[in-house]
């Protein structure tokens, strides 16, 4: 399994990092990390999505499309 970290970006006080993973069957899975805080007060939530994709770019786009629904409502608007 190969994991690829894509470019990390900021949304308000959150740091968003999309990931793609190649699976044993040759498909790609999507994940998304949403981080906030600093030092010992850091909170990092990682979301792993169920759908599988035939190419890495489709998996990446899916993870990015999920971001607005996972951020607090005042930032997603």
77 vs 73: CA distance, rounded Å: 6
CATH of 1-67, one of 3.30.160, 3.30.450, 3.10.620, 3.10.450: 3.30.160
- Report the pLDDT value the prediction gives residue 5, as an integer from 0 to 100: 62
Higher pLDDT, 5 or 24: 24
Residues 44-68 have pLDDT tens digits of 999 999 999 999 999 999 999 998 8
How many other CB atoms are found less than 10 A from the CB of residue 52? 16
Higher pLDDT, 17 or 77: 17
8 Å CB contact between 51 and 63: no
The structural domains of the chain, with segments of one domain joined by +, span: 1-67
- Report the pLDDT value the prediction gives residue 3, as an integer from 0 to 100: 64
Residue 73 in this model has a pLDDT that exceeds 80: no
Torsion, CA 63, CA 69, CA 71, CA 76, rounded to 10? 110
pTM more than 0.85: no
Q: Is 45 helix (H, G, I), strand (E, B) or coil?
A: strand
């Amino acid at each position: 399994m190969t994991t690829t970290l894509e470019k990390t970006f900021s949304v308000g006080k959150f740091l968003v990092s999309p990931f793609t993973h190649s699976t044993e069957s040759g498909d790609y899975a999507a994940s998304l990390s949403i981080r906030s805080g600093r030092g010992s007060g850091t909170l990092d939530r990682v979301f792993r999505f169920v759908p599988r994709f035939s190419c890495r770019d489709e998996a990446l786009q899916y993870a990015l499309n999920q971001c607005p629904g996972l951020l607090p409502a005042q930032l997603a608007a």
